[in-house]
Every structure is written in C-alpha cells, then in structure tokens.
Structure 1
C-alpha cells in the first residue's frame, strides 16, 4: 500500500510539473528535453527540473507591486536628441523592457584590472559622507577584504550608513566570523538566496551575479571585478585575473542605485528611499549611458536583447571579450550572419578557464564560429574575465553578463550601455592590443583537432542550457 501511495504521489507531481512546462511557453526543444528527463530519469528528472528548469518570471508583478520606486518608461526627448540616429531603436527597446531610460551628461571612467579598479573604489569610499551600498557575487576573505573591512569600520564611526548584499553561492567561502564582525560594527548585511533547508533546490539555479557599489548617489561602480585577491595577485592555476570595470558619475548613478534598492528589498523585505534621481541636473560629463538590468523575474531576457541589438546594428566591426561564450541559438545565428555579411567579428577569450566543463562547452562552438568567418583569439596571460562588446567606434557594453543562457535566463545581471565614441575607441584599442598578445585560431588547423576533443566538446555542449 505504501508503495502504491508513493507511486501515485510521484505521478501526480510529475503531471503537475508537466502541466507547468506546457503552459509556461518554453522553446519546444527545451520543453521536450525536460519532458524526456522527467519521464526517463526516475526521481532525478523531477529534482533536476525543480533545481534548473522552473521559470520564476511570473513573480514579477508581485515584486513590482511591493516595490514603491517607479521611473518613467523612457525619455523620448533624449532618444530623439541623440547624435547617433541608428541607436534610437535600441534605446527605445532597452527603455521599454527595463523601464530605465538613457541618460546624458555622465562621466564614465574605464578601470582596467584590479589594482586600478580598487584604487578608484577605495578613493571614492573614503569620500563617503552619507551612505555606501555594496553588492557582489563573489566576496572572498583575504588582503582586499581586510582592507575593505578597515575602511568600512572607519566610515561607520563617521556616521556613514553601509548596506551590503552578497550572493549565497558565489560567496560560499565567506566565513560566519567575518560576517559577524561586519554586523557587530554596524554594517547591514544580507545574503542573496542563501542555502537553507527546504529552499535549496528552488534557489540553487537563481544567482545574483551583479557587482555594484554606490556612494552617496554621486558615483557608482559596476563591471566584472569581484572582491577577491586573485585580481591583485592571481592564483596558482590561472594566474592573475584580468577584467574591466566602470566608474560612473552623473544621472545614470540613480538607475544603478535603483538596481541595488530593488535587490535590497528582495533580500531584506525592507524599502529604502532612492536618494539620487535620474532627472537631477549634473555637470559630470557629456556621455550618454543606459543601465541595463536583467533577471529571471523580468518579462524578457533584457541583456540578450541588448546583445542581439548591438550585433544586428553593427556595420563595420564587432569585438567581443568574454570568458564564457556559450551562445543561444539566436546569438549564434546573429554573429554568423554578421560575419558572413562582411562585418569584422572577433572574439577574445581566455586560453584557460576556471571550469573544465565550461571550457569544453565554449570550445564546442568554435568550429561554427570559424566556419562563418568569425576570428577567435585566445588570451594566454592569466584569466581574462572581462565582459565587453564594442562596435563601430560608437557603442559599447560593459557589465556583469556573460554570453550564455545562465546570464540571459537565470542570473540577476547588470550592464552599462555606453553611447560614446571616445570610450568605444579606447575599448577597441585595448581589444586590438590584447589580440596582439594572443593566439589566433585558424579554421583549417582547428577542424583537424583530435576526435576525442570533438567527443568531449559534444558531451559538454549538452549542459549548455544550464551553464
């Protein structure tokens, strides 16, 4: 009798999950894959779907109802006044899906690698008078974390309010002792989806991959760099980590602060006011910036749409730096079409990866890239972790998102779109400089790689939807 009851419950649960699969509107191939897993892998198929397959986007309306911060959909005036007409459509698209308008009169500073970035961050933190907001996917203890702790302690004594969010998975090594010291000195600290009994399976697949600092609503930082000593000294396996970060001053800071405040509400269920406003007049600079947040509870995969728009608008060149290029079918086809139409498309990827499985999966797409005329360069010095798209000397994207389904569908990410010729040219020069240091793959030699490599790549590619 007990076996019959358990079997009946199992079948009912499977039918319930299948019902959800069919009405959630997934791509047919993805739906079929999950149906096969549920039917052919007893118990394990259901557990995998609960961990990796469920879509949380339908919670968006409930979250928005609770959050009292609202911005206008977009600024028609700025979109109309932009000096680059070919990006008006992109500005409108991004504004409609993110509710974040582009802003002018910003000053953006490119911060290459850890030492440059942290010098600027600590300089800005030292100037804080009212509040500091910090949010990181990876927060590791070490020399850098100790230096940050000492500075935060100093600012707390000066009356500065400090709030911090860390990801429960990415910062798994962060000790209870360090957190206790932060809290005891007055820092408000919350984890994003920590691993807890009863919620492990439902939260494992949804991570907060954002890196944000906001100081007094005056300056904001974002990009690929985490709080980790590997950006300063490197590590044994990969050497020094190389990355690109941004310091932003001007109206765009308000939108970066809004991203933090929204996440703060998610982790603490506390509403906090927005200090900076995007409509505030500033004389920071002349650069147009659009903040692009994206997460699994958004109505659309905002950053995937952003990347597709940049690819499709490219007329002369498209240069991409990213360690994890595991493209969706849409991105793959767009890149191939761009290259086949005569656009100079190049990919700059780290020669070594921090994950063997990810490395083999990334490499499984190389032949398809090379066949369509896309040039691939492998950077050999340390681990290149930057997430940059730059095109036509007039637009660039820098942020936290990789070019993979995980960043598009499962992670909370944030990028900054820079509609600025000077920054685009600087990033192009950095890209070409790094390409000169790298090894270019050639199609004729790469296609002759061992059959065992092709087999491993094929097996690894099965995991592309969840990496």
Structure 2
C-alpha cells in the first residue's frame, strides 16, 4: 500500500508539472528555431523587394508547376489535394516549400535504410506451407487475406499460437507486469508514448530488476511521441541503468516532413514466445490512473507461441533502422536465439491461426489499409469496428458504404469526448454520408475510446495500432494481428457488444440538426483531413 501511495504521489506531481512542460525552455527553444526557419523566406523576399515583381512571377509559376506535378503523381487523390490547396492558396511560398521538403536527404536516407533492413530480414520470415494449405481448405476467403499479407507484405500466418484479448488498459497493465516479471533472457519494448507516472514507473522498476539479473532489456520509443512526456536525453538516463535504449527519428528543430513518419507501434516481446500489441501506450491515462478525457477505453492483445516471431522481427527491424549495416552483418544463426522455441522447448498450444503484420510508410504498400479493405469486402453478416478517429479516404468510405448497402451490419464505435478538437470535428463531419448508407455509428459517452479493432462474421478479426485515419494508413509505422477463429476474435466481438451499452447511437436526424455554420467549417476541415 505504501508503494502504491508513493506511486500515486509521483503521478500527481508529474501531472501538475506536465502542462507547464509544454512551455518549458526546451519546447520554447524548438518553437523559436522553427519560426525562424519559416520566416527566413519572408525576410529574403523583403531584402530582395526591388525584384519582387520578378520573384513573385517566378514563384507563382513554380507553385502551379508543382501543383500539376502532384496531381499527376501516383497516390491517393485526397492526399494530393491536401497539398495542392495550400500551395495554390499561398503561391509565393507553397511550391517552394514543397520542393525543399521533397529534396531533403533525411527522408531518402530513412527510406533506403528501411528498405535495406526489410530485404535483409525477409528470408527469416518463412511461411509453413501446411498452415497456409489448412487455411485454404477451411476458408478460401480468409486464405486470400493471409496470402496477401505473406506474398505482398512478407508476414507469415502461424499455427501453434494462442491469443488473449485484453479489453482495458488496466487489464493489459496487470498482464504486462506479470509477463515482464517472468522474463529470463530478453525484453524488447517499442512504444509511441511513454510518460513518467504509475504505469511507466512500475514497468521501469521491473526492467531495472531484470537488468541486474542479466536479462537483455531494450527500449525503443518515438522521438515526437515522447517530446513533451519525457525529459530531454532520457535515453541516457536509462542507459545508465543498464537498459539499452534508442529514440526513433528523434526530433531536431529543423523544418522537415520526415517528422510525419512516426513509430506509432506498441510492441512488447518477452523471451521470444510472448508478445503484446494494441492501442495502449505506457502512460497513466491509458489505465485511468489519470483522468484526461473522461474514461479511457482501450485494448490490447496478448500473443503466445510461434506467431511472436513476427513481432520479434518487427522490433529488430526498427531497432537497427539507424544502422542497417549492423543488422545485415549478423549471420542468420544469430537470430536463432530470438526464435519462439529457443527458450520454450515445449510444444505451443493453438487456438486458431494468427498473422502479425507491420505497416511502413517507406514501401508504398499501404498494408494496414489493405487489411481493412479485405475485411470489408469479405464481410457477409457483420463488421464491427472501434477507432478513435474516423477520417478515411474515398476508397475506404466507398467500400464501407457498399458493404452496408449489400446487407452487412456495419457498426462503428468512436469517442464522445475528443482528445483533439479539430480531428474530432472532422470525424463527425463524415457521419451523415455513412449513416445514410446504412452504417450505424455509436459514440462512447463515458469518455474517449482509443481501441483499434475490427471483427467480422465470427471468423476473422484484427487488433493493433492502426487508426482509420490518414496518418495511420499513410504516414506512420504501425502493426497489428490478423486472426482466424481464435479465442481473442470471439472476445473482441463480446467486448464490442458490451461497449455498445455505454454508447449513444448517431441518427440521421442528429446529423441533419447540425447548424449550417458548423457544416461549412466541417467542409473546410475535410479538405485538409489528410494532414490531420
């Protein structure tokens, strides 16, 4: 009890400090540097004001040319439109900024590093042909999905794996601590957000104990996700404790589009045979120890068995992204120590088929969106989805509307209490089109739902980190677990139906009652939805 009281006091102190951290010297310095860089072209024009007429003409021509170039590039039309509109609204600088950002070497270097790593690790992700054949005989539609994930994305489908759906952050927290305490050989953690408080401090305490016992502990966190939640150079502090720590894509105060590409994954791997993923980060709001936006509803999934191998590889791919040569130099035998059976010689149990997968913005594959599209097109009876953000491209919207019109029971649960006001308004701006097509939308009235789940026809489901928005589907590194007839699949459905009891349904009358001025504002927001 004394320890818990102490942890709560730490959390309270942290929450008192956290709002002011946004205005700390570190953040203010960053803001000033970015403002200086943004102002530089304006100052340059002022200095060259005698030549303004000529410069103005040239820059406008450049912006028009850039807009034409963007329109003719392959890619999502809405995403392209979100670039073209501001370029044409601000022709003096729009085209120039786009060119400067596209020419930045940092993006190219990140892409080349990730592609080298994916190429080096692909042979390690082997598909057991018997497992794929079994799935083909049982359910050809499900086998098509699994075949896509292996042939196009490189992730095998596994037997000899069990799953457990964890329906709240509190349950995940308890199970994570329990599994971490059992670690004997290695712990790999990869999270988007870590924040000092009850949750992280409890995990850190276990990690410190494990390091003292010789366990290989590695932590990878996102530089932008933790920009305002962890002290500067926090990774050095952890290294002093014996924890190997890296920051993915650390934030440097230089204007760059590379900061759009965040590591949004949440992965924990213990001894190669146990893994977690889902929407839950290592911060107190995820376990409701800190009430941020009402009750925080989230979910995770616990995977045990052969399927954990893909999570181990996903972690190692990101761990070595700053030094792909080091990974490529490792002999194949070096990876054997991380395989599920290396520290678990007993046979694994099985409760269906499992296919963990990753999504990278560097390979133009759009794996996360394609998984969702395949589930939507394959649905026959029902499709139940939870997501914190509902900001989709036309392809996803069309697929969902067609599914509803052919008789599929399509339902969404989204938040009632927003975490980002403009994003929430953009989510609501799309309700009417979906409801008119027959899709039922519910808002979670106790607070904010951050869970990312899809379950379909009592056959398949996916749980992961991928939101129904442009950032998750186009810009972030993400991951998930596709499941066929597993225990967790049934638990996802049960949790969805139970959560509905705490929701209010959005009717067509609700959509039509929205005032005209708000509709106009929402229309503007939707133009820029790919940037949210």
Match of 1:148 in 2: 203
**Cα distance, 1:19 vs. partner?**
8.7
1:289–1:416 Cα contact (<8 Å) kept? yes
Match of 1:182 in 2: 238
- RMSD across aligned C-alpha pairs, in angstroms? 3.0
| Matched residue SS, 1:69 | helix
| Matched residue SS, 1:139 | coil
1:74–1:96 Cα contact (<8 Å) kept? no
1:69 is aligned to 2:121: yes
Q: How does 1:249-398 map to 2 (within 5 A)?
A: 249-269=304-324, 270-271=326-327, 273-274=334-335, 275-277=337-339, 282-398=347-463
1:234–1:240 Cα contact (<8 Å) kept? no
Match of 2:164 in 1: 109
Distance in structure 2 (CA, Å) of the matches to 1:19 and 1:454: 30
Match of 2:519 in 1: 454
1:349–1:376 Cα contact (<8 Å) kept? yes
Distance in structure 1 (CA, Å) of the matches to 2:403 and 2:168: 30
2:489 to 398, 419, 424: 424
- TM-score, normalisation: structure 1: 0.91
**Cα distance, 1:338 vs. partner?**
0.5
**Cα distance, 1:51 vs. partner?**
6.1
Match of 1:210 in 2: 265
**Cα distance, 1:84 vs. partner?**
2.3
| Matched residue SS, 2:349 | coil
| Matched residue SS, 2:188 | strand
Indicate the structure with greater helix content. Answer: 2
2:219–2:244 Cα contact (<8 Å) kept? yes
1:88 is aligned to 2:143: yes
| Matched residue SS, 1:213 | strand
String of CA shifts for 1:215-255, please: whole Å, max 9, x gaps.
11110110000000112235454123111101111111110
Distance in structure 2 (CA, Å) of the matches to 1:381 and 1:164: 33
1:132–1:162 Cα contact (<8 Å) kept? yes
Q: Which stretches in structure 2 are left out of the alignment for 5+ residues?
A: 1-44
Distance 1:49 1:365, change over 3 A: farther
2:93 to 21, 24, 43: 43
1:170 to 222, 225, 231: 225
1:318–1:391 Cα contact (<8 Å) kept? yes
| Matched residue SS, 2:269 | strand
| Matched residue SS, 1:300 | coil
Distance 1:136 1:329, change over 3 A: same
Distance 1:396 1:66, change over 3 A: closer
1:240–1:383 Cα contact (<8 Å) kept? yes
Q: Which stretches in structure 1 are left out of the alignment for 5+ residues?
A: none
Distance 1:121 1:237, change over 3 A: closer
Report how many residues are paired.
Answer: 466
| Matched residue SS, 1:266 | coil
| Matched residue SS, 2:152 | helix
**Cα distance, 1:88 vs. partner?**
1.2
2:82–2:531 Cα contact (<8 Å) kept? no
1:401–1:414 Cα contact (<8 Å) kept? yes
1:242 to 286, 297, 300: 297
| Matched residue SS, 1:163 | strand
2:167–2:300 Cα contact (<8 Å) kept? yes
Distance in structure 2 (CA, Å) of the matches to 1:13 and 1:194: 32
**Cα distance, 1:315 vs. partner?**
0.4
| Matched residue SS, 2:250 | coil
